[in-house]
A and B are shown apart, each in its own frame.
Chain A
């Protein structure tokens, strides 16, 4: 029957329903509003203040922070911050692309295995991400330090100068990012593969015979929603990465997250840090927006933003 509106408003129960809505939803919503939305708004307002003693924000309002973020300091313009920004973008792009390239075959391989093994294989991919990211980066420090087999190998191939380790370096940061976010791409791709219409793939195999063209015409379009979801899950946190670049990157591997964080610690300048945070927020929402639009246009948009 369709004539049961269940919770639709009726004059007699409206007040009670509204009260119910309020007492169930208010605590959680208020918690997030009070301890996240309000702080974020406060942080954004800090970006428009001047930097006082110890870098703490103070009046008057100014756009100094944004000028300094763009590289204009007491000594004229310097490209340091711009490099950091470009490096963040570059690292995000490279690591996301690598993650996609690795995750596709892995996710596909899991779907070709017997159904009873699949949860175990998925778990095997996910478990490393349950360990703390500081420990994971520490593991890579151990592996890539000077004198380790991997570093010696790289040195003997002439990729790095002898007695230098593979870390700290931009390469180590890329590696760390790929390592961190691989599971976030495998999971959505796997669920896309699981829903894959096998008939279409088989038809394409008949039509094209070439695996690459089969992939392009039959598999890729069907897994696109999963891919977009994966990109959101990987690229957004990668752009805001702090731990990996701090531990594996050293001074020359700094990303935007490290620039922002350092403004609240050693080189204190809260307004400058807050301006950097605004940049990250803008990038986040832009990324979400673009993916949403893309997802809607390509169909299956509902799954894209989880």
Chain B
């Protein structure tokens, strides 16, 4: 199997934008791709954590595993790290099959959710731990630690004790400790989930900067779809141990393949298609024209694609509605609209024009190219 994988990967280098990007940046080594084939894992007798996962992660990519708690994303990450063995299936990094390789012989490092800094060691010894285990001489260890400390701008944190660090500082030390080993792949297990919103945004930007400058393959686990969209080159959405969709953030957000992905990405406007006639789709809202309707059973209308016209206006893709609720958010306003006997969410950016009041009669319009169908 690993032979076919090598062949696959040999075809690809240079073909993807992330790899080209990394070639320009200060890469130390060639980034590595990851191949997963038919990964199965279960716990006990009846808990299926992974139900046959096939996935290719490209070299130098910032790849996110996204899903709700219990979807299998952390199990997948732990299998990549070697902390968990799959029941079936194969895993290759950089074309080399590592399914049976123990974690301490994999060139893969993890940033743990709890950071897992060793309490008995200083920050410097924490950073040097991996290098020491690999037998690097002290002088080189120190040089590499200083280098990474400069790169992540740790400043005088390096000389502190672990118990003197704040949450954000611990997070950055944990990142530096993994990066200093220069692994083929860096795994990040919800590394920002323990931080408050402000710090989180700041560290998201920092992580992205680090990844772009190193061109290293990052595999990031999160349950937060906003974070996933900000950070990722590509996202895999998981549910119940299997992959639902893989794609760039825009693709996953704008063209979800099924109801689960759509709802997980935050979409509420999903309507069962009752009848279709060519490009004309009939739902509880009424009949709408779609440019490329596909053959899905659900119609997705994203709130931000809707426009509201005051009063009753006739026209194609025009729906009469009443404002049931309005949430004013400053930059935009969110509306809950009664259309027939169902409700529709709309989001309108605030450009200083009239914002309809509750109870007002309006007309909702949507462009045919913004309508997407998907399977349940």
Chain A–chain B contact at Cβ < 8 A: yes
A12:B85 contact, CB within 8 angstroms: yes
Question: Is A10 at the interface (CB under 8 A from chain B)?
Answer: yes
A1 CA to B84 CA, complexed, in Å = 15
B49:A5 contact, CB within 8 angstroms: yes
B70:A11 contact, CB within 8 angstroms: no
A4 CA to B84 CA, complexed, in Å = 9
Report B-chain residues with C-beta under 8 Å of the C-beta of A1: 69-70, 73-74, 113, 189-190, 221
A299 CA to B190 CA, complexed, in Å = 37
How far does the Cβ of B126 sit from chain A's closest Cβ, in whole Å? Answer: 23
| Main SS class of interface, A | loop
Question: Is B42 at the interface (CB under 8 A from chain A)?
Answer: yes
B85:A3 contact, CB within 8 angstroms: no
Size of chain B's interface in residues, with CB distance under 8 A? 22
Known contacts being A10-B87, A11-B87, A12-B87, is A3 close to B71, with CB within 8 Å? Answer: yes
Known contacts being A2-B70, A3-B49, is A8 close to B85, with CB within 8 Å? Answer: no
Question: Is A132 at the interface (CB under 8 A from chain B)?
Answer: no
Question: Is B109 at the interface (CB under 8 A from chain A)?
Answer: no
Question: Is A9 at the interface (CB under 8 A from chain B)?
Answer: yes
A9 CA to B49 CA, complexed, in Å = 13
Question: Is A210 at the interface (CB under 8 A from chain B)?
Answer: no
Known contacts being A10-B87, A12-B87, is A3 close to B44, with CB within 8 Å? Answer: no
Report B-chain residues with C-beta under 8 Å of the C-beta of A9: 44
A10:B42 contact, CB within 8 angstroms: yes
A5 CA to B190 CA, complexed, in Å = 17
Question: Is B78 at the interface (CB under 8 A from chain A)?
Answer: yes
Q: Which of B85, B190, B221 contacts A10 (CB 8 A)?
A: B85
How far does the Cβ of A209 sit from chain B's closest Cβ, in whole Å? Answer: 45
Question: Is B225 at the interface (CB under 8 A from chain A)?
Answer: no
Closest residue on chain B to residue A13 by CB atoms: B85
Closest residue on chain A to residue B74 by CB atoms: A1
Known contacts being A9-B44, A10-B41, is A4 close to B87, with CB within 8 Å? Answer: no
How far does the Cβ of B314 sit from chain A's closest Cβ, in whole Å? Answer: 52
Per CB-CB distance, the 4 closest pairs between chain A and chain B, nearest first, are A5-B43, A1-B74, A8-B43, A3-B70
Interface residues of B (CB under 8 A from A): 41-44, 47, 49, 69-75, 78, 84-87, 113, 189-190, 221
Interface residues of A (CB under 8 A from B): 1-5, 8-13
